[in-house]
Amino acid sequence: MTILLIDAGNTRVKLGWLDRRSGRREQRALVLAHEHIGELAAQLERLDLAPQAAIGVNVAGTAAGQALSRILEQRYAISVQWIASHPHAAGVLNGYDIPAQLGPDRWMSMLGVAHRAQRAPLLLASFGTATTIDTLAPEPADTAVAMDSLPREHAERGMAGHGAPGPRGRPPCRFHGGLIFPGPALMRSSLANGTANLPEAQAPIAAFPTYTHQAISSGIAAAQAGALLRQWREGLQRFGQPPQVFSTGGAWPLVEEEARRVLARAQQDLGLPIQDIEWLPAPVLDGLAALASGGDFCS
């Protein structure tokens, strides 16, 4: 069975696929701007894909979700299973006070990176229309939630309920929460729209900017990288070891240089091994694939 994986984001839609029998995935995600959603069927046919099921998350709004659902129903006679956030899934516990309020894209990203949090905490920084910086860590064995303590209806659910946290006795990972703030483009446009004299600026980043465009670009990069470093330091204090940092999102190139620089400097100042930031192309699709395949990644 080929399952279509859909990540409907604020500015574009990413699509992947999973062959449940072989576990084979797309080599590269298909990306459609919102105004090109109508091309979905033609793009899938060009790739020789005829999905038998579809699973996805939608933060793009009702219209985008309805358009995607309509195309798949008319062309392939399948309904999209739109996923919401739940208390736990695929070995990950949702640490939000009200789990359902966590954005489904952030939740799926946590499932997508869970196999990387086997022994150490991690941060996933997603730089898009909004920037989110989320923390995931394995639960200590002596504090992990036992399977017997979970509600029976959750432990018995399949994909529709996001699955059980894992085999009996295995400690799950926990999503510890994270930040949400405007992404680089929103920061730039808010300065241009909210002030009389500041432009939509793009310029090289500098420690001490000497002209306005450079001051704006440097300020935005510093704010984004500073938030990332703040969460890294908080993780180091909470878990007693430095979190591994992952990045994703279309705006990453705008802040990459500054983020790598400040993190490396902090690691050096603390006498820690230099651990670079690792780029992930599609953690939301990875999470959807984990959910669709019934995977359990935390150990």
Containing H/E element for 89? strand 88-89
Amino acid letter, residue 124: L
> What are the strands of the beta sheet with 30-33, ordered from one edge?
30-33, 12-19, 2-8, 53-58, 80-82
Pairing assessment for the beta strands 12-19 and 2-8 based on DSSP bridges: antiparallel
State yes or no: is 105 an active-site residue: yes
| Active-site choice (19, 48, 97, 105) | 105
Helix or strand holding residue 93 (H, E) = strand 92-94
- What is the amino acid identity at position 230? R
CB atoms within 10 A of CB 257: 13
**Which of 182, 176, 185 lies closest to 251 in space, CA to CA?**
185
Residue 69 corresponds to which tokens in the numbers above?
């659902």
CA-to-CA separations, 80 to 39, 101, 138, 228, in angstroms, rounded: 17, 21, 31, 34
Question: In whole angstroms, what is the distance from residue 180 CA to residue 93 CA?
Answer: 20
Q: Which residues are marked as active site?
A: 105
